[in-house]
Amino acid sequence: MQKTSCPALFIAAPASGQGKTTFTAALARLLTQQGKRVRVFKTGPDYLDPQILEQASGQPVELLDMWMAGDDWCQQKLYEAALHADLILVEGAMGMFDGEPSSADLAARFNIPIAIVMDVKGMAQTAAAVAQGLVNFRRDVSVAGLIANNCGSDRHRQLIEDALPESLPLLMALKRCENMALPERHLGLVQAHEVRGELEECFEAGAQLLQESGVMQWINKIPNVDFYPKPLPELTLNLQGKIIAVAKDEAFSFIYKSNIQLLEKMGAKIEFFSPIHDTQLPEADALWLAGGYPELHSKALSENTVMMAQIKSFHQNNKPILAECGGFLYCLKTLMDLEEQEYPMAGLMQGKGAMRGKRGCQGMQMAPLPEGDVRGHAHHRSRSFDTPEPIVHGVRQRHSAHGEAIYRQGSLTASYLHLFFPSNPDAIADLFSGKNTPLENQTVSREISHAG
């Protein structure tokens, strides 16, 4: 098996909110400024961080998740990136050992050294103790060193460095810098296209800070990692000649590039449209209403009655529709936003949606669709009620409780779940082809095994 080699670094942390994305984006921008080709990957299901990292690096950003995407998928994607990149950066998710599989699992599987980013505000020697605990928790991970974020002074840096063993170097200490902080909202970072100019300022400030902090002294010493090819099964052209209209605008943007690429590789033509701004639905054989932030644009969505009428007609003509999370909310009768203002939505199915502040639902789940099992995840801070009976529920990765409800109303398949299409290409092709007889108000009776 022919391998290829490329320097690679995994950016992990003891918890969320330590500055992983800020650091990764700043480093990608600095190296890009120096003419290097940097390929960035994001661990786990995430739509917002990849947008940020893609703008910073100028290169496409894909997810790596060994449960949702599969081990082979991750291996092949890393190999393809290594063929052309000068450096591969992988940003972890949550804490270093959180989740199954965790960031540490992914780094260990592909032998990628880890740089631990830690917000050290309010501690000194304790930061060294926490870092050593992470290093010693497992023997199969390789840690390159510690990056002390939000370091208050040279003395602060010295206290941390003196407390670290020689085997765990302090790679760098980053001073507190408000100019490189990335904007956020209730589900995480703000979408890149909303604040493109502001992000550019953050990237430039971050790149300058990294350079002044001496990042290149150790980045240039990152060792090569061997990556091996893992050819994936050939796709059949099950969607040859099909046109799929995909909602994409300020309200609907939670779209994995890998999902679009899969549809195109199976022969589909993609037509993007805006439920907010457009008054004409593209001529299409199927429709995908992706997730996003409809609650932030519910008034504008409700006022585009022409578009909602066309989508309703599309549904009445029994053409396949997939609605995920935000797209699912758009298909209900009404949606109440964070200010408790209620607006009419497309009304493809009974039910109402309402935002619920900080509380929410998230986690990996498998969708046992009539077409086949498709893996995905849920992440929302809204609730739906007065809906019809679901045909089935999602199966949680590590828990026996019911997952998200999945509805089949005529040709509409709707759920809070975000699906990762490459986990079952044939099922996705059947879904968008409308091969199954509508199962409205019926339940899937086949045996469902626990997703593990």
Q: Which residues are catalytic, by number?
A: 325
Quote the DSSP letter at residue 68. Answer: T
Question: Which candidate, 122, 159, 164, 124, places its Cα nearest to that of 144?
Answer: 164
Listing DSSP states for 373-442 in one string gives EEEEEEEESEEEESPPPPSEEEEESS--SEEEEEEEETTEEEESPEE-GGG-HHHHHHHHHT-SPP-TT-
Question: Which candidate, 300, 274, 303, places its Cα nearest to that of 289?
Answer: 274
Question: Which candidate, 21, 24, 230, 20, places its Cα nearest to that of 110?
Answer: 230
Residue 141 burial (CB count, 10 A): 22
Counts for the chain of helices (H) and strands (E), in that order? 13, 26
How many Å apart are CA 162 and CA 35, to the nearest integer? 35
Question: Which candidate, 72, 18, 77, 14, places its Cα nearest to that of 42?
Answer: 77
Tokens of 377: 């995840």
